[in-house]
Amino acid sequence: MEDVSIIILFLFVLFLLLGTGVWVGLALIGVAWVGMELFTTRPVGDVMLTTIWSASSSWTLAALPLFIWMGEILYRTRLSEDMFRGLAPWMARLPGGLVHTNIVGCTVFAAVSGSSAATLTTVGKMSIPELRKRNYPENMIIGTLAGAATLGLMIPPSLTLIVYGVTINESISKLFFAGILPGLVLASMFMAYVAISSFVSRQWNPDAEPAMTISEKIQNSRFLIPVILLITVVIGSMYLGFATATEAAAFGVIGGLILAASQGSLTWKTFSESLMGATRTSAMIALILAGAAFLSLSMGFTGLPRGLADLIAQMELTRFELLMVLLVFYIILGCFLDGISSVVLTMAVVEPMVREAGIDLIWFGIFIVVVVEMAQITPPIGFNLFVLQGMTNHEMSYIAKAAIPMFLIMVLMVFVLIAFPELATWLPDNIRSRPGG
């Protein structure tokens, strides 16, 4: 950190390019170029190419388009209707009633899709009108949906975790397993909140559900069995060390195709739409990753990561204090950047810091995912808020307000994670992993 003014110039360029709306991937390349020109005498262009080529041609990265494709296929099936019809009979008797279908539905769909927007639309398409029909309080319907949809980022397959794993070179399978228990705990916390507010809230007087016999219930949820089976195959194959994350993703695509075909919703149109959608989304993330690889090389030359890590070490922050600083930092960053961009943008700087503090990087992956999840439901650019706005025609401020309790529950989740790190580390320590996962 000899030359503070050059560092400031470098950071200025970073904020300028990102802030004016240059596409994130290209902006990262631009910033990295400036950094290299300022801090080294090496031939920048040639270094850039070597870095981008090795970052883009990666076997591990191939899990990304495949998992996106699997989600895209299932998104275009009848899953939305089946999910509500199948889950509703089982949730009706719980305190909080059918609002739980939002949360359980999101949890199930999160297990086949790595995206929270897709989770939100799939579950909400059916549950919003149905719950309204039954006079559930509107703010509960919207709030729980916004919050629970973020589970898509945590429960495997998770795009954010793939990106994190590729960026810091950790096993994707391990990260996936680290996400399972915290995801389920977070879902139960949401459900507990729903149950409690159903007792406390005065607006809570939904219509009662007609009673159903056990066989009727099973009849109604038989369509969910194939999805559950698919989840079991994808996650199970990784757990037993049968397949790497990339291979499990291939199982997922094939399973998804079979499932769609058996429902009769696999047409040329849905097939090509899902494939092209996956191609575009995966290209978008690949561009960010290519830029990020070059940027993290360039960051290394600026000495910024080392300097900050030393600074943190000098300040003798405890682990807890460091995590609190990072928590606030990522919440603020999340107001301006989407989750994937904020992860790749910061890892070059944050990774040495976190390693220095002796924090487990698998655990930290889950921490960072919970934190960027929060950003999905905070204005001004909370992505789930936009999606919900499109689906319900409510004001943004109304939706954001309805989501505040969920935001607080996620903050609580961060502290639960810090208090019980085993939630994230126990499963990954106990899988039989294949080399190259």
Partner 1 sequence: MSLLRRVLDTLYTAAGVLAACCLIAILSLIVIQMLARWTGEVFPGAPAYVAYFMAAASFLAFAHALNRGSHIRVSILLNAVGPRVRWVIETWCFAIGTAIGWYFVYYANRFVYWSWKFGDISQEQDKTLLWIPQSVMLAGGVILAIALTDNLIHLLLTGKHRIIRDTVDMQAE
How far CA 420 is from CA of 24, 73, 273, 358, 367, in Å, comes to 35, 36, 43, 16, 12
Comparing CB distances to partner 1, the nearer of 99 and 375 is 375
Among 164-172, 190-198, 302-310, 373-381, the segment contacting partner 1 (CB under 8 A): 373-381
- Residue type for position 264: G
Binding of partner 1 by 243 (CB under 8 A): yes
**Interacting residue with partner 1 among 71, 86, 143, 183 (CB under 8 A):** 71
Comparing CB distances to partner 1, the nearer of 225 and 276 is 276
Provide, rounded to whole angstroms, the least separation between the CB of residue 153 and partner 1.
8
State how far the Cα of 401 lies from the Cα of 190, in Å rounded to an integer.
Answer: 16
Among 127-135, 190-198, 250-258, 360-368, the segment contacting partner 1 (CB under 8 A): 250-258
**Interacting residue with partner 1 among 1, 3, 37, 53 (CB under 8 A):** 53
What residues numbered 120-179 form the site for partner 1, per CB under 8 A? 153, 159
Q: What tokens were used for 16?
A: 């300028």
Comparing CB distances to partner 1, the nearer of 336 and 420 is 336
Phi, psi of 208 (to 5 degrees): -75, 150
Rounded to 10 deg, the angle between the 361-376 and 396-419 helix axes is 160
The 81-120 site mask, x for binding partner 1 (CB under 8 A), equals: ----------------------------------xxxx--
What residues numbered 2-31 form the site for partner 1, per CB under 8 A? 17-27, 29-30
Provide, rounded to whole angstroms, the least separation between the CB of residue 425 and partner 1.
26
State how far the Cα of 210 lies from the Cα of 376, in Å rounded to an integer.
Answer: 36
The 338-367 site mask, x for binding partner 1 (CB under 8 A), equals: xxxx--------------------------
Provide, rounded to whole angstroms, the least separation between the CB of residue 172 and partner 1.
14
Do residues 132 and 88 lie in contact, with contact meaning Cβ atoms separated by under 8 Å? no
**What's CA 31's distance to the chain center, in Å?**
26
State how far the Cα of 99 lies from the Cα of 88, in Å rounded to an integer.
Answer: 9
3-state helix, strand, coil in the chain (%, to 5): 80, 0, 20
How far CA 121 is from CA of 29, 237, 301, 358, in Å, comes to 33, 28, 43, 39
Comparing CB distances to partner 1, the nearer of 153 and 155 is 153
Phi, psi of 137 (to 5 degrees): -60, 130
Q: What tokens were used for 141?
A: 């319907």
Binding of partner 1 by 397 (CB under 8 A): no
Rounded to 10 deg, the angle between the 396-419 and 422-429 helix axes is 70
Provide, rounded to whole angstroms, the least separation between the CB of residue 237 and partner 1.
10
Binding of partner 1 by 391 (CB under 8 A): no
Binding of partner 1 by 390 (CB under 8 A): yes
Q: What tokens were used for 427?
A: 């499963």
Comparing CB distances to partner 1, the nearer of 358 and 380 is 380
Provide, rounded to whole angstroms, the least separation between the CB of residue 419 and partner 1.
28
Comparing CB distances to partner 1, the nearer of 24 and 91 is 24
Provide, rounded to whole angstroms, the least separation between the CB of residue 154 and partner 1.
13
**Interacting residue with partner 1 among 296, 298, 376, 378 (CB under 8 A):** 376
Provide, rounded to whole angstroms, the least separation between the CB of residue 171 and partner 1.
15
Number of residues that bind partner 1 (CB under 8 A): 77
DSSP string for residues in 324-378: HHHHHHHHHHHTTS-HHHHHHHHHHHHHHHHHHTT--HHHHHHHHHHHHHHHHTS
Provide, rounded to whole angstroms, the least separation between the CB of residue 70 and partner 1.
10
**Interacting residue with partner 1 among 2, 5, 41, 46 (CB under 8 A):** 46
Provide, rounded to whole angstroms, the least separation between the CB of residue 358 and partner 1.
31
Rounded to 10 deg, the angle between the 361-376 and 383-392 helix axes is 40
Among 123-131, 199-207, 247-255, 299-307, the segment contacting partner 1 (CB under 8 A): 247-255
Report the candidate in 303, 404, 395, 292 with the shortest Cα–Cα distance to residue 337.
292
What residues numbered 173-232 form the site for partner 1, per CB under 8 A? none
Provide, rounded to whole angstroms, the least separation between the CB of residue 90 and partner 1.
28
Provide, rounded to whole angstroms, the least separation between the CB of residue 9 and partner 1.
17
State how far the Cα of 400 lies from the Cα of 380, in Å rounded to an integer.
Answer: 9
- Residue type for position 6: I
CA angle 372–378–360, rounded 5-degree value: 20
What residues numbered 282-301 form the site for partner 1, per CB under 8 A? 282-288, 290
Binding of partner 1 by 75 (CB under 8 A): yes
